[in-house]
A = this chain, B = another copy of it.
Amino acid sequence: MNESRIKHAAYLDKIQTPEQASKIIKHEDVLGVSGFTKAGDSKSVLPKVAERARHEKLKVTVLSGASLGYDTDADLAKNGALYKRMPFQADPTLRSSINNHDVLYVDQHLGQTADMLQSLDSFKIDVAIIEAASITKDGYIIPTTSVGNSPIFTEKAEKIIIEINTTFPESMAGIHDIKLLKKQPNREIIPVTHSDTRIGEPYIKINPEKVAAIVFTKVPDCPAVISSPDEKTTAISNHILNFLEKEVHEGRLTESLLPLQAGIGKTANAILSGFKNSPFKNLTMYSEVLQDSTFELFDSGKLLFASASSITVTEDCSKNIFNNFDKYKDKLLLRPQNISNAAEVIKRLGVIGINTAIEFDIYGNVNSTHITGTHMMNGIGGSGDFARNGYLSIFACPSISKEGRISHIVPMVSHTDHTEHDIDILVTEQGLADIRGLAPVERAQVIIKNCVHPMYKDQLLEYFNDAYKLGGHTPHDLEKAFSWHMALKTHGSMKTPELIYN
């Protein structure tokens, strides 16, 4: 415990143990919890809620920023504590519960949850559980490594539990820029004109009377585990860098490009790492999550500034950041996710959005969420917020996986998260397809030529040519459109669709 982190005296008699605080939560409550891609989530109270559910009837709806760390989501799911979960998750146990219909899941654009909560009062928030680095003298919250949806949760919540995490330095104060947007018709202009524009306050302003408990925790953020770039992800990165160099060469971009966004995970991290050895300079980021690669780019002098809603890094990277916080502090801003992911700002700044796909099809539609069209992987996250509003919308994935039993380019995606209207660039380790301004049949040709693995090229061309003969602006043979997915399900490989459709 470190009571000096609480500058608001009236809170001192609200200090409780995580177990005590967890009892504030009641059966059928709706919880709004901090946490975005494992950063800044509740490490003590919410796990205690999960534990309580093992012994008593306790089923709640949990809204977060994005995914939570450690086994919190897994334990909530395993113990039957979840009625509904939104807007994002990335936990294998919870994923199973969702796909088995044990938990209802609302997969939502990360930039739009706050708006939904403002317009739809049937989603009341009973309790907000928010991680803090400290509390100001007015009782306001200084968040930790993420802002997420915490401002709207605390605004709507009847009660607030604050979880002070003493593993973060108090000097984090100042890296957050927080503004709660008003509901329409009073919605204001979001005056962010550069990655580093500040428009709000460095704290989450709350009503101190709502604070029901304050707890302390010493559990650090669940560290990200990121594999190093490999041959495939390096090839993808190089294709993107070469493409961007060409754009600069042809005068469409300058050598500082436009603000970059990259999704989470190994591929996105590898792509961003690649910029270290690129000819670009004075880069900026306007993203939703900052991974290790962001700090590599700071260290290499390539990156001037990064704005996001969370910092999700490996253990080593975390130590480096917080042991050298002065070095990074002025180069970072963390914003609420409805501002980091705001259509208005992404469009105005001209963000170059780089996200990963589960699969894409010959016409440029992208599936980011569902395995074989039915089973949820993680969720759409912020990919849609950036893909549709960015200056360039880039989606990447390997051309094949599982020793070639899966082709990630298919005749028709089994679930559509990003439509043909919103995709500019598709890239695999095989190459890059620039489909801007192309009609569907033109797109099919460049995608098959540039992105598809050689072992699937003829098979995909055959599908396209046969479908083309049937006519139509977007040629398909509906009988065979999912034959690759069905072959994978029933015969274990997409190389055998003839077993399905013959």
Contacts and interface: CB of A to CB of B under 8 A. Distances in A.
Contact of A470 (B120, B250, B374, B391): B374
Q: How many copies of this chain are found per oligomer?
A: 2
A297 interface: no
A283 to B, nearest CB: 12
Given A189-B193, A376-B474, A473-B375, A481 B482 contact: yes
A476 B437 contact: no
A479 interface: yes
Contacts of A416: 365, 416, 419
A486 B343 CA distance: 38
A439 B83 CA distance: 11
A489 B191 CA distance: 52
Interface stretch (A73-81, A101-109, A215-223, A458-466): A101-109
A327 interface: no
A98 interface: yes
A120 B350 contact: no
B187 A189 contact: no
A437 B120 contact: yes
Contact of A343 (B101, B122, B344, B481): B344
Interface residues of A, number: 83
Contact of A417 (B116, B119, B421): B421
A100 interface: yes
Interface in A372-408: 372-376, 380, 384, 388-389, 391-392
Given A99-B472, A391-B119, A417-B419, A104 B347 contact: no
Contacts of A115: 347, 391
A122 B374 contact: no
Given A106-B437, A184-B348, A421-B384, A375 B415 contact: no
A225 B473 CA distance: 27
A441 B101 contact: yes
Contact of A350 (B185, B188, B418, B421): B185
A370 interface: yes
A414 interface: yes
A279 interface: no
A478 B474 contact: no
Contacts of A205: none
A468 interface: yes
A476 B482 CA distance: 12
Contact of A252 (B120, B373, B391): B120
A442 interface: yes
Interface of A: 84, 86, 98-101, 104-109, 112, 115-116, 119-123, 183-185, 187-189, 191, 193, 250-252, 258, 342-344, 347-350, 365, 370, 372-376, 380, 384, 388-389, 391-392, 414-422, 436-439, 441-442, 467-468, 470-476, 478-479, 481-482, 485-486, 489
In the A-B complex, the 8 residue pairs with the smallest Cβ-Cβ separation, listed nearest first, are A184-B350, A374-B472, A376-B473, A416-B416, A104-B439, A344-B344, A343-B343, A478-B482
22 contacts: A99-B471, A99-B472, A99-B473, A101-B441, A101-B468, A104-B439, A109-B421, A120-B252, A184-B349, A184-B391, A187-B350, A189-B189, A343-B343, A365-B416, A373-B472, A373-B476, A373-B481, A375-B473, A376-B474, A417-B421, A478-B489, A481-B482
